[in-house]
Every structure is written in structure tokens, then in C-alpha cells.
Structure 1
């Protein structure tokens, strides 16, 4: 009997994903290991009666749906994505009779996991409904999604696989949203109940590494300013010790914010403490 995994459905898809779901059920039940699951999922994806873009988009959407709704499976999902990136190159017949790599948006299948970063951006970008505008259950689901997608991203970056290096920008953007705007200026769709735990996930999973990061992001008319700060940060467009200190202090302020929930204060306090321990070498 299959383990009860309510998110393993075709919800939100017009395609037949039963082959994908069968592989994932076997994987989560321990009947197969990650390398085999990765190969079977890849085959199921490319067998889908759809364009290559839809084949990959449906696969990533399914995996992200599970990561956001059932975070207890995130470690296994990370393993399967890593193993997919090491699958043999997919080729197709070329115009001159020679096989050519299968490329989508200048990325190679499977080595570059094309479109995964785009698909992750979707749940990361979703806003949280302001109180009273939606059913409480819908708002709670949006809050959980924000927290869980950030935790999943942190786990991907923590693998140190080059394929996931792009994820570090999500760390910066999440910490900026949560901690670089005065509380009274926070937008209703960016509540601390979502973004403080989301930011804390990055510290919990990757804090010691983030403390050492010194990357600065390019800015300009063509690329915008992805590393820029919120109202409380006017410095480097990237990671640095000074910005880390601002984040730590803001976690501390959130931990003492009397009009915030006990959960938010607790999570913020734990993040502040971990950051202090990282600075003193107690956490590596």
C-alpha cells in the first residue's frame, strides 16, 4: 500500500503524471534509491506527450509542489535533483546525421536542469494574502509555502553543487525582505509570520557559509540591482559582514517585538543566537 502523500496528485496539471507519481511513491517508500529514481523520473518526463518545455516544467512543478507542501521530503528531493544533474547527456539526431545535445534555453538536459530556477521563482514570488482578504486556510498555506520554498532553496545551495549556485541570490532577497525594511513599512503581503521563518531557514541551514560570503552582484540598466538593499541598507550590493550584522540585529529586534506572535519572536531569537554563535566560532 502506498504511503499517504496527499500532494502526489495531478493537481494543477492537464497532463498524465501517473508515471512520475509511481516513481516518487516507490522512492519515498524506500523501494528504490535516488540514482534509480532520478533516471526513472527523467525517462517519465521525456516520455510525456508535450513539448520539451512542458515536459521539464511539469516535472519541476511536481517536485516543488511536494517540497512546499510536504517539507519532510525535501532532503530526498534534493538528492534526486543532484542525481538528475549527473545523468548522461540527452541527445537527438542533428541536421548532419550526428547526435546533438538536447538544449533548452541554452541549458543542457540534464546537466543544467533547464528551467528549474525559473520554476522555483514562481512559488518564491507568490504573495501572502493580507489578513481578512482570503480564507484563513489559504493564508496559512501561503505562509507555509514561503517558508518551505526558502528552506528547500537553502538545502539546494548547501549541496555546494555548482548547478545550484544561483540560489544564493534568493538568500539575499529573502533576508532583505524580512529584515531590511522598518516594521511599520512592511507591506501587508509580506508579513513577518512568513518572512522571519523564511529568512531564519537560510541561517539554520547555511548560516556559517553565508557569514563568509563576500559576493557583490552586478547592477546596471540591463540587469537591474538584484543585490541592492532595503531602506535600512545602503551599502554593498551583496553579502558582507556589515550586512550580516544588520540582519542579526534585526532578528534581535523581531525577537523582542511585543505585537508579534510568540512563534515569530521565538524563531527570530533562535536565528539571532545562531548568528552570534557563528560569529564566535561555536557553530561551523
Structure 2
């Protein structure tokens, strides 16, 4: 399994439960490194070759297309949050999703969604992976917090690419980071969650600003104690978030990374709000 695995990626499953998963894992560990000779299109074709309809054998011995996709996207996002959102392998991961979307296929699921063009199950499994992490439960330096930031970065990229609608995820992450003043979790908030919130503004400021202008996500009840205004996005909340970045940049728990992240977020906000 994954003899060539320079990124040191972990399968995070019980090897042998689904032999196709091991083959998919080998494809990902071969394709994702920056110096891989594989193109996204080549990796996508390799993955498509493992789709039930494209594998030889008795159909009774193979999983259904829907079951394959569920297992596949679960694996994909187990791998994704191990990739630093700032580095080339994450960009290659996103390129692979786009290459899968461009594969010719006339196969549809029971709900009418096309494989692979409509990327069925991707939103559900990305959202599920996002909800599995509870960042306030961890202490600075915990691996789970690094994964939380990577997953937020990936979600921001996919939101920009119109592959995933991440405005609710952005709101939840930003609110948790900038509107929380619980002393018990303040060290984790300032050291790890605030830089994660800054990722959204660094990568997605125009979309977040437009959401505030249009007051999107009004049906969301996501808000923490420091925000007493209306739920959802708003101009007032945008201004509040900017003030919080300024305040938290000088917080006693803020070290260099947090201070720099706050200033980067403020600069991104100011650039788009001109």
C-alpha cells in the first residue's frame, strides 16, 4: 500500500476493508506531490477506471455507484485536510476535482445527478468532515487545529471555484473565531482560530463582502456572545469583524502568527471595501 508516499499521507481507515480504497489511496499518494509526473487528467482517468461500471467482474460483487462515490469522497476529504492549504499539493487536489468534473460519462444516480459532472456526494462529505472537527476542544499546536485550518482553506478555494457553497461554513468559522470571548478557550481562539478566520478573508474577501452587502444567510442562527446584531451576513457585522481583528492583533495571547494573520485579514478587507 502506497509504497511511494513522499507526503507521508495517512489512510486513516482499516486497510483491507475495501480493496478499491487502497488502490484509490495509491493513486492519490502518487499524484498529489509537487514533483509528480502525473497530470490531473491522468489521475482522474485512473480513478474513473475503478468506478463500478468500469471494472470487470460480476455486478453482484461490486458496490453501487452511489456507494462508491460515498466511499470515494470520504477518502478524498480524509486526505485533503492533511495537505497544507498554502502549498502545491492542495492546488493539485483541487485540480483533480476539476478534472473529474470534466470526465465524459453518461452515468446518472437515482436522483438524476451525473457522474462525474455534478460531483454527487462531494458537498455532503465535505460538510460532514468539516463538522467532525471541534476546534475549541483542542490546545494550540494540536494536529487537529492544523487540519481545521487546511479544511477551511480548501473550502474557501472550492467556494471561489463555485464547486461548493461555503458561505455557511465561512460564517460559522468567522463567528466562532471573532465573536467568542470565553476565557477558557481564549488561548486556542487567538492562537489558532483567529488565523483560520483570516484565511477566509485572505482567500474569499470579495465573496464575504458581497454576502454582507446582500445580507445572505439570514436564516442562520450562527452567532457568539460578542455579536448582538441580526444573524447572517451584514455590513454591520463586517465592520465588527474588522474591529475584532484589530483588537485581537494586540491581545496578550497573540503571537507573531496571529498578529500577522490579523493584519493580513484587515488589509484584504480594506482592499475589497474601497
1:262 aligns with 2:256: yes
| Residue 180 (structure 1) aligns with | 179
Q: Sort the Cα spacing of 1:188 and 1:253 in 2 relative to 1 into closer, same or farther, 3 A.
A: closer
1:230 aligned counterpart, secondary structure: coil
| Residue 98 (structure 1) aligns with | none
| Residue 20 (structure 1) aligns with | 24
Cα RMSD after superposing both structures: 3.0
1:69 aligns with 2:82: yes
Q: Sort the Cα spacing of 1:119 and 1:263 in 2 relative to 1 into closer, same or farther, 3 A.
A: same
| Residue 97 (structure 1) aligns with | none
| Residue 94 (structure 1) aligns with | none
Q: Sort the Cα spacing of 1:10 and 1:171 in 2 relative to 1 into closer, same or farther, 3 A.
A: closer
| Residue 155 (structure 1) aligns with | 157
Shift of 1:200: 0.9
Superposed counterparts of 1:232-247, under 5 Å: 232-247=226-241
Q: Sort the Cα spacing of 1:128 and 1:217 in 2 relative to 1 into closer, same or farther, 3 A.
A: closer
| Residue 222 (structure 1) aligns with | none
1:229 aligns with 2:223: yes
Q: Sort the Cα spacing of 1:23 and 1:264 in 2 relative to 1 into closer, same or farther, 3 A.
A: same
Q: Sort the Cα spacing of 1:21 and 1:271 in 2 relative to 1 into closer, same or farther, 3 A.
A: same
| Residue 202 (structure 1) aligns with | 200
1:127 aligns with 2:169: no
Length, aligned pairs only:
255
| Residue 217 (structure 2) aligns with | 217
Counterpart-to-counterpart distance in 1, 2:100 and 2:234: 33
Structure 1, unmatched stretches of 5+, are 92-100, 220-224
Is 1:123–1:145's contact at 8 Å kept on the other side of the alignment?
A: no
| Residue 7 (structure 2) aligns with | 5
- Which of 240, 243, 252 matches 2:246? 252
Q: Sort the Cα spacing of 1:275 and 1:12 in 2 relative to 1 into closer, same or farther, 3 A.
A: farther
Q: Sort the Cα spacing of 1:186 and 1:42 in 2 relative to 1 into closer, same or farther, 3 A.
A: farther
Please give the TM-score of this superposition, normalised by the length of structure 2.
Answer: 0.79
Q: Sort the Cα spacing of 1:239 and 1:218 in 2 relative to 1 into closer, same or farther, 3 A.
A: closer
Counterpart-to-counterpart distance in 2, 1:250 and 1:54: 44
Counterpart-to-counterpart distance in 1, 2:128 and 2:167: 16
Q: Sort the Cα spacing of 1:209 and 1:18 in 2 relative to 1 into closer, same or farther, 3 A.
A: same
1:59 aligns with 2:65: no
Please give the TM-score of this superposition, normalised by the length of structure 1.
Answer: 0.76
Shift of 1:186: 6.7
Is 2:11–2:25's contact at 8 Å kept on the other side of the alignment?
A: yes
Q: Sort the Cα spacing of 1:233 and 1:127 in 2 relative to 1 into closer, same or farther, 3 A.
A: same
Counterpart-to-counterpart distance in 2, 1:217 and 1:209: 13
| Residue 168 (structure 2) aligns with | 169
Structure 2, unmatched stretches of 5+, are 56-60
2:244 aligned counterpart, secondary structure: helix
Counterpart-to-counterpart distance in 1, 2:153 and 2:117: 23
Counterpart-to-counterpart distance in 2, 1:88 and 1:237: 42
Counterpart-to-counterpart distance in 2, 1:129 and 1:174: 11
